[in-house]
A and B are shown apart, each in its own frame.
Chain A
């Protein structure tokens, strides 16, 4: 047992080393939570292991999940031909289609309130502004890219101003020409967007007479005396 001390030292060193590694590892949580230290932040592509996988994944039909029940693998079934989804206003065809028979109708078939316009503005900014621009001039961010540049319509063209409301509604619903439709936008929201597009068009053609008197005064001082019938926004 002459080399006993060396063995003992080596043995202690190994144990201490292992303990140190586990110790630091054990403290990762403490370090992250209390000291904000993150070492060895990792990215991995293998699905995370589930430590206790009991009932984590059940054999039920789930949204946007494939299903083994049907041969095409889709859990969401297409509606049977000729059926109508619940909540679709079949008894009010104008509300749904923007048409009376085979003619376009005009007028917003739901009550136009300030709330509806605010909703329309929000929906327009989410769904339309990337292409048509916040003001409807056809100059949104995406419209600057090759392919869409010069293709996106300005909503202030006389041709579109003159279109019946039902036609704009249908453009949103089914798209038109180079523009695809937005069938997922709800019926009310589509009409809210139509109302907002009308407001944008109106605002661009507004004259001084259209604004409340107190604001008229502000505008007049800002711009100097002008003909009250000229559009306020006549930079084009």
Chain B
């Protein structure tokens, strides 16, 4: 009986299987990286209507985040400041600066400055700033060291998996409530473990892990 398949096809099934396996691995890895917020969001740094610099205002002048983001510890939403907040200083400081011209124009016309929003959870997600910052979760854990950024960029993926990483182990991130607005705070992993366990137990911290906690 003649050979229907030539000799070289002996290894073909194995080769095909191998290639499919490799491709499958790559596609899964590629999709979970490139099609998720780790890639699509992190690094988003839109141009803003005013070149506002957090490293100057928050670090050099030592302004507390709450001077401008006034609602962060009271409300679910962390507001971007009103023009009046800027004008408290800029009525006097850098009065002629061209960089501040849009701020002065907004002050005169009453039109808000249209800051470009960077962090934005989908509308089907319930998120609450006050619930986090009043429980010892710092801005740094979710926004990175904004106080060293000249232009704010998206530092963390803020995906569902990322939220849950902390909700499952809040002791890795929680800190004293007085240190929440101190973005230069550092602590060794060892000390964090001890402090974190203690705080989680003392305050009875129980971040929701059920779907209805965040999708309400």
Contact = CB atoms under 8 A, between A and B. Distances in A.
B41 A48 contact: yes
A58 B123 contact: yes
Interface stretch (A83-91, A146-154, A221-229): A146-154
A9 interface: no
Contacts of A146: 93
A127 B62 CA distance: 11
A13 to B, nearest CB: 16
Main secondary structure of the interface of A (DSSP, over half): loop
Given A51-B36, A56-B122, A22 B30 contact: yes
Given A19-B22, A142-B61, A25 B122 contact: no
A29 B29 contact: yes
Interface size for chain A: under 10, 10 to 19, 20 to 34, or 35 or more residues? 35 or more
Contacts of B46: 45, 47
Contact of A57 (B27, B35, B89, B123): B123
A30 interface: yes
Contacts of A43: 43-45, 153
Interface size for chain B: under 10, 10 to 19, 20 to 34, or 35 or more residues? 35 or more
Contact of B45 (A25, A29, A45, A181): A45
A148 B33 contact: no
B32 interface: yes
Given A30-B29, A43-B43, A49-B40, A126 B89 contact: no
Contacts of A2: none
A30 B13 CA distance: 29
Nearest to B80: A64
B95 interface: yes
A66 B36 CA distance: 27
B203 interface: no
Contact of B91 (A22, A28, A56, A178): A178
A130 B93 contact: no
A52 to B, nearest CB: 9
Contacts of B87: 180
B3 interface: no
A27 interface: yes
Contacts of A184: 70, 82
B85 to A, nearest CB: 8
A226 B70 CA distance: 46
B64 A125 contact: yes
B92 A178 contact: yes
A64 B80 CA distance: 8
B67 A25 contact: no
Interface in B40-96: 40-41, 43-47, 60-64, 66-67, 70, 75, 77, 79-80, 82, 84, 87-89, 91-95
Nearest to A53: B122
Given A23-B26, A26-B33, A130 B67 contact: yes
6 contacts: A19-B26, A41-B43, A57-B123, A63-B75, A131-B89, A180-B91
Interface of B: 22, 25-30, 32-41, 43-47, 60-64, 66-67, 70, 75, 77, 79-80, 82, 84, 87-89, 91-95, 112, 114, 122-124, 153-154
Q: Kindly list the 6 A-B residue pairs having the minimum CB-CB distance in the complex, ordered from nearest.
A: A26-B29, A147-B92, A56-B122, A29-B33, A147-B93, A63-B77
